[in-house]
Structure 1
């Protein structure tokens, strides 16, 4: 049966064997991991942030996850606020060829839009990359191990090994990132407690400052440290001087001599005529104007009046 005509069968054609599991393309997997957001699985676009575990996110995706907890991914449950992520200061790769991909052209999946500013290694997953939590600058792990800097080569800020976070870490590097993240959170909590205790101490401390003297000759409330001479000096300063007395008297006399108008403003200074006296008359007042005197029938102008006036009581009915 079969195998006639000089054909040579293979073993897999005659014997049923167990199929091998489909293997993932490591290059494609690394490309997706380093160029896509860990929450939305969309391509990374600036500004790019990273958490304490070293995962990469789009900043807008993190903000939306914080505002709406129902849309937050399981991989980002440890992000409670924007303080739990750090915006990355990336170095662009000049050799990166972006743009739309075409089916009839070769696509280099190892080409990355960012690289190491010190060694020029591309950030495509083939080499380990890390960043400083204090400033967010990204470097390759090989460059940091070789140079062992005390200051950041990009922004010149002081750094140490405890602030290094591995990007897309796995296994031992992931556990190291987790322990350093917990150390930073505990340190922040201790700093907050120390600030609160300092504020409480400042409030509870007695005020040793000298109280300002209140108005009046009394010296009650002054501390016992002030001697008798100082008390006498303070009392003398409180007493009004001769110049102050004259100024007050002048103000009183000015206020009595000023006459207020209908709208409440101070008018011209006039003699204080008392209207209660029977011999007082506006016609005999030297400070009254002719216009004011003409409103009254006792004036010389009113005696020659021939027509009625709406202000005066001389309607000329007869």
Structure 2
């Protein structure tokens, strides 16, 4: 702090340093970290992504199980629902609002690579730093360069037809891609279609009233019978699994609530002064006046 050839920064210099705009390198590093997180982690449950994986109209990736769990009604997860709604931002109100992504696994990838997916056309790795897309409604994923090079508007994997507007970038960062996806959602809504190009579910009057009152959107109700009637076998199995987990969690919570009503101590031992004042009674001192 003096006589050492150094200098003492003034308040102006400190404030100027703290308020400076991030450099290009810092911006790219931050974007890469966000991409790394988005390609490997479910943003709702913060668990690793694992098949089956779905995507919404914004290009975000989720575990299908977490989406089903969010859509199913639950009595003990108010905070979890609110956190999920903050992530989804109203993009998912039913399973029609997501598309299951079909990634091709790279069997030659290193073992330490999480989710070793590759483009079936170019063989390039799909992940952070590589612009990837998927097609609606089939859900097959490719690198963006492969889609540009392939002529025609048919999926090279399943030969299903798709429109140019139904090429969805995965975890987009470019403002043009984000704006195009927002416009696509608006166009589909006007046509009465969901993100998967299926007919969107009609909103009930109760849901509209709740949305006008800025309350949480109504969630779909699926019971065990409805879970068995789902056409997609994998979705039905996943729904049944989530329902079973919720039932186990509810029973455990019910048992814990019952335990709190009863004392777990040994009844043969005296309570003494450790008991609650409502149960230990009150002794009048011998020398006290009555």
TM range, smaller chain: 0.5 to 0.7
Q: Give the Å deviation of 1:84.
A: 0.4
Residue 134, structure 1, aligned to residue 147, structure 2: no
1:228 counterpart residue number: none
Q: Quick check: 1:112–1:122 contact (8 Å CA) kept in 2?
A: no
In structure 2, do the counterparts of structure 1 residues 153 and 53 end up closer, same or farther at CA, with 3 Å as the change threshold?
same
Among 9, 15, 32, the residue aligned to 2:9: 15
User: What is the 5 A alignment of 1:186-225?
Assistant: 186-188=190-192
2:185 counterpart residue number: 181
Q: Quick check: 1:96–1:112 contact (8 Å CA) kept in 2?
A: no
Q: Distance in 1 between matches of 2:152 and 2:105?
A: 22
Q: Distance in 2 between matches of 1:2 and 1:51?
A: 59
Q: Distance in 2 between matches of 1:75 and 1:158?
A: 31
2:86 counterpart residue number: 74
Q: Give the Å deviation of 1:67.
A: 1.2
In structure 2, do the counterparts of structure 1 residues 147 and 68 end up closer, same or farther at CA, with 3 Å as the change threshold?
same
User: What is the 5 A alignment of 1:114-263?
Assistant: 114-170=117-173, 171-188=175-192
1:135-185 CA deviation, whole Å, 9 max, x = no partner? 000111111112233211111112221221111123221121122233334
Which structure has more RCO (C-alpha within 8 Å, separation ≥ 6)?
Answer: 2
1:198-222 CA deviation, whole Å, 9 max, x = no partner? xxxxxxxxxxxxxxxxxxxxxxxxx
Where structure 1 has 5 or more consecutive residues not aligned to the other structure, the ranges are 100-107, 194-318
In structure 2, do the counterparts of structure 1 residues 42 and 189 end up closer, same or farther at CA, with 3 Å as the change threshold?
closer
Q: Quick check: 2:54–2:101 contact (8 Å CA) kept in 1?
A: yes
Structure 1 residue matching 2:117: 3-state secondary structure: coil
In structure 2, do the counterparts of structure 1 residues 39 and 151 end up closer, same or farther at CA, with 3 Å as the change threshold?
same
Residue 47, structure 1, aligned to residue 52, structure 2: yes
Q: Quick check: 2:38–2:60 contact (8 Å CA) kept in 1?
A: no
Q: Distance in 2 between matches of 1:30 and 1:192?
A: 31
Where structure 2 has 5 or more consecutive residues not aligned to the other structure, the ranges are 201-290
Q: Give the Å deviation of 1:186.
A: 3.3
Q: Quick check: 1:49–1:86 contact (8 Å CA) kept in 2?
A: yes
Larger radius of gyration: 1
CA-atom RMSD in angstroms: 3.0
Q: Distance in 2 between matches of 1:48 and 1:151?
A: 22
Q: Distance in 2 between matches of 1:139 and 1:183?
A: 24
Q: Quick check: 1:123–1:129 contact (8 Å CA) kept in 2?
A: yes
Residue 94, structure 1, aligned to residue 107, structure 2: yes
In structure 2, do the counterparts of structure 1 residues 182 and 2 end up closer, same or farther at CA, with 3 Å as the change threshold?
closer
The size of the alignment, in residue pairs, is 177
